[in-house]
Amino acid sequence: MAVLNKIRQRSLFLIFIIAMALFAFVLTDLFRNSDALFGASQDVVATVNGKNINREEFMSRVESMQRQLGPNATSTQAMNRVYDQEVRREVMNTQFDELGLTVEQDQMKDLLEQSFSSYPEFQNEAGLFDENKLTEFVANLKAIYPEPAVLGNFQLTYDDWVNNEKSIAVGAQERAYYNMVKAGVNATLNEGEVDYFLENSTRDIRYIQIPYSTINDSLVEVTKGDIKDYINNNKKKFEVDASRDIVYVEFKEEPSLDDENNLKSDFDSFINGKAVFENGKNDTIRAFRNVKASDLETYVSYTAASDQPYVNDFVKKSALPAVVADTLYNLNVGDVYGPYKDGNTMKLTRMVATKQMPDSAKVRHILIPHIGASSAGADVTKTVEQAKKTADSALAIVKANRSKFPELVTALSSDQGSVDKGGVYDFHPSTQMVKPFSEYEFSNNVGDIGVVKTQFGFHVIEILDQKGSSKAVKVATISRTIEPSTETIDNVFTEASKFELAIQDGDFQEAAKERNLTVKPVNGIKVLDEQIPGLASQRPLVRWAFEDGTKVGDFKRFTIPGGGYVVAQVTKISEKGTMDPETASASVLSDIRKEKKAKMIREKVSGTTIDEVSKNQSRPTGNSVAVNMKNPTLTGAGLEPKVVGVAFGLNEGETSGLIDGDRGVFMVSVSNVQEATKLDNYQSIANRLSTARSSAAQTKVYNALKETADIEDNRANFY
């Protein structure tokens, strides 16, 4: 009680202490997040040359991009695409602002007409572009915002229209900008002349090479100091972004042998038949072999609940599962084989029928597409009924006079892959064409002609020839995917949990070794990476590895797309800056050794002529004829630009000193100088150089502008 009374007496003091503790906690968090303390925006994805890219608008564009890219693209891929677009826009806007390069209202009208004049929504009765209709459309978009309106084959909102106009304007500004750049990169006649002589002036060279390989690597000591000096002398080459190295162990939710055997036993009811009691009544599952051919589709898809539907087609042996193709192909009609494992599925197969079929067929066809058909162009206007009527008319004409076939192919067929060949597809197997097309050409006889409908439209097909004949089979297959059971999934979770417990106080590698688990290393992960080799998409793992609180040795468990877990540990943290010597050693050792070997070779070489050096070093001499500066290659020694460059600085009969080349130390002498014959005019060469420069200018200029831009990338804070 005495203690409680003292606490009550000093309550104001305690309140003050608690308040100060809370204040200190808040300050600590503020200093940890300095942006909040000093007013920097928490909603800036990036800053380019002082211009912020707002998070809310950016995310809206990412969502739109995600829809455009489709379901197979990840959110990170969509984000990167939008980021590149936004950075490009801001980098180029800086240039446009400095140059005063704008798109005026009259020019914008012309650009909109160029972009949308073909849309019927913006055309008058004469089919000409009507600016008033476009203005009305935009006004309506604004009025119904945020609801979309239909334009052509797609829907768009007012925001979409505004962004589209911006893109059109930026496109016009970029074209004007790059046209000015290209006008300044044209090659001069002097440059054309230099290029001509570099390519056509030649030297015959005699040389001696002492390869670096003559000195064993073990004889060359490379210290950490050597590596540091090399890095310091080539700092730009070794600038790196922040990265992380990790190791991980994978726990996949894969079916066990018990799971496979249990699934096999499920097939007993289809092999032997089974009496079942369902929905309050007795029923019977018929044995697979006893099912009528007409009932197979229902039996396979519904009674057996196969993961793959029944395919009522005749196929050749090559189309059967490779693991059991011989066995299935030789079954008698009515025989059942299995269950057998094919990849990640368990199957039971019955031979339904056999027949002889051609091995290949040669046909010609006319394709009449209709609206909605696959690969139908925007100019296709026929309905299904109209396309069928056209195909029937074409059939009647070619049946009466088959010489008309090529003429109708040219006039009617939309299959650009065969139009130039009179509609002909040379000999091909039954698997090459879509099913209805293939069924017709392999089930009918040479000379037959008819109309077949496929996903591409209506085909008028004539069978020109057939080759070979072999057995084709029709099989019915019950297929079930082999999946991990609940027990297996629980076991995987348990194993992952046990491993986590083991590494809390133990070594990651040792714990994995004790459990026969494979440890996989991944080095050089960047802050915005999404894919981890062997794990596919693992963005949460990457984010964790780069969190402020994550240290070397920390580990964490993550789920794997498709089922299972991965336990990862950070093994190295590399900050942005210059590559450390340990990491750089793999790429610089060879260069440093070359430098040291060159010095060692020079120290043991005596002689001032090629023959003297050859004798002194017991090395053969070599000859290279008609060497030029555009392709500085020595016969027998490979690409040696430095050596060839020295040779072109010598007069005929002169000998160089020792030269440190790419593959060894050289000495060269020039035995023949052949200067190119002067041309009257070098304009054609200058034009060629100008074209090459102009083609590369756009990419090179933008990359240079981006490299010099002030870009602060905050994407990792949001994705």
Q: At 366, list the tokens.
A: 């006319």
Burial of 540 (0-12, 13-18, 19+ CB in 10 A): exposed
Asked whether residue 501 carries a pLDDT value surpassing 80, the answer given is yes
pTM, rounded to two decimals = 0.66
- Residue 147 CA: distances (Å) to CA of 32, 124, 153, 160, 423: 43, 26, 16, 11, 47
Question: Shortest CA distance to 215 belongs to which of 547, 706, 598, 552?
Answer: 598
Q: At 320, list the tokens.
A: 């059967």
Confidence band of 278 (pLDDT split at 50, 70, 90) = low
Most confident listed range (165-174, 310-319, 527-536, 545-554): 545-554
Q: Angle 499-504-508 (CA atoms, 0-180°, nearest 5)?
A: 60
pLDDT digits (tens, 9 = 90+) for 678-716: 999 999 999 999 988 888 888 899 999 999 999 999 888
- Residue 439 CA: distances (Å) to CA of 294, 430, 444, 717: 19, 8, 8, 57
Handedness of CA 22, 26, 27, 29 (dihedral sign): positive
Is 130:124 a contact under the CB 8 Å cutoff?
yes
Q: At 537, list the tokens.
A: 């998409």
Three-state SS string over 290-321 comes to HCCHHHHHHHHHHHCCCCCCCCCCCECHHHCC
Query: Bridge partners of 559?
Result: 565
The pLDDT of residue 192 is 93
Query: Bridge partners of 364?
Result: 424, 462
pLDDT digits (tens, 9 = 90+) for 672-681: 999 999 999 9
The pLDDT of residue 277 is 53
Using CA atoms, how far apart are residues 342 and 215, in angstroms rounded to an integer?
55
Using CA atoms, how far apart are residues 275 and 196, in angstroms rounded to an integer?
90
Assign 431 to helix, strand or coil: coil
Confidence band of 237 (pLDDT split at 50, 70, 90) = confident
Using CA atoms, how far apart are residues 528 and 548, in angstroms rounded to an integer?
15
The pLDDT of residue 155 is 82
Q: At 509, list the tokens.
A: 């590698």
Confidence band of 151 (pLDDT split at 50, 70, 90) = confident
Residue 339, preceding peptide bond in cis (omega within 30° of 0)? yes
pLDDT digits (tens, 9 = 90+) for 90-127: 999 999 989 888 888 888 888 888 888 888 888 888 88
The pLDDT of residue 30 is 36
Using CA atoms, how far apart are residues 640 and 628, in angstroms rounded to an integer?
11
Asked whether residue 25 carries a pLDDT value surpassing 70, the answer given is no
Strands, sheet with 520-526, edge to edge from the N-terminal-most edge strand: 520-526, 243-252, 564-574, 555-559
Three-state SS string over 4-23 comes to HHHHHHCHHHHHHHHHHHHH
202-206, 452-456, 574-578, 621-625: least confidently modelled range: 574-578
What percent of the chain clears pLDDT 70, i.e. is strictly above it? 93
Summarize the confidence of residues 620-641 as an average pLDDT: 95
Asked whether residue 37 carries a pLDDT value surpassing 50, the answer given is no
Summarize the confidence of residues 264-285 as an average pLDDT: 76
| Sequence letter at residue 216 | N
Higher pLDDT, 164 or 393: 393
Burial of 586 (0-12, 13-18, 19+ CB in 10 A): exposed
Residues 6+ apart with CB under 8 A from 198: 628, 629, 630
Assign 390 to helix, strand or coil: helix
The pLDDT of residue 153 is 75
Confidence band of 11 (pLDDT split at 50, 70, 90) = very low
Per the rule left: phi > 0, alpha: psi between -120 and 50, beta: everything else, 602 is alpha
Confidence band of 174 (pLDDT split at 50, 70, 90) = confident
Q: Angle 208-623-662 (CA atoms, 0-180°, nearest 5)?
A: 50
- Residue 188 CA: distances (Å) to CA of 24, 184, 195, 603: 69, 11, 11, 46
Using CA atoms, how far apart are residues 292 and 520, in angstroms rounded to an integer?
53
Mean pLDDT value across the chain: 88
Confidence band of 40 (pLDDT split at 50, 70, 90) = very low
pLDDT digits (tens, 9 = 90+) for 190-227: 999 999 999 999 999 999 999 999 999 999 999 989 99
Using CA atoms, how far apart are residues 706 and 419, in angstroms rounded to an integer?
47
4-13, 375-384, 511-520: least confidently modelled range: 4-13
Query: Residue 557: in which H helix or E strand, if any?
Result: strand 555-559
pLDDT digits (tens, 9 = 90+) for 68-82: 788 888 888 889 999
Using CA atoms, how far apart are residues 92 and 704, in angstroms rounded to an integer?
11
The pLDDT of residue 71 is 81
Residue 376 half-sphere exposure toward CB, CA atoms < 13 A: 20
Summarize the confidence of residues 349-359 as an average pLDDT: 94
Query: Bridge partners of 149?
Result: 156
Summarize the confidence of residues 362-379 as an average pLDDT: 90
Q: At 666, list the tokens.
A: 């050289």
Asked whether residue 650 carries a pLDDT value surpassing 90, the answer given is yes
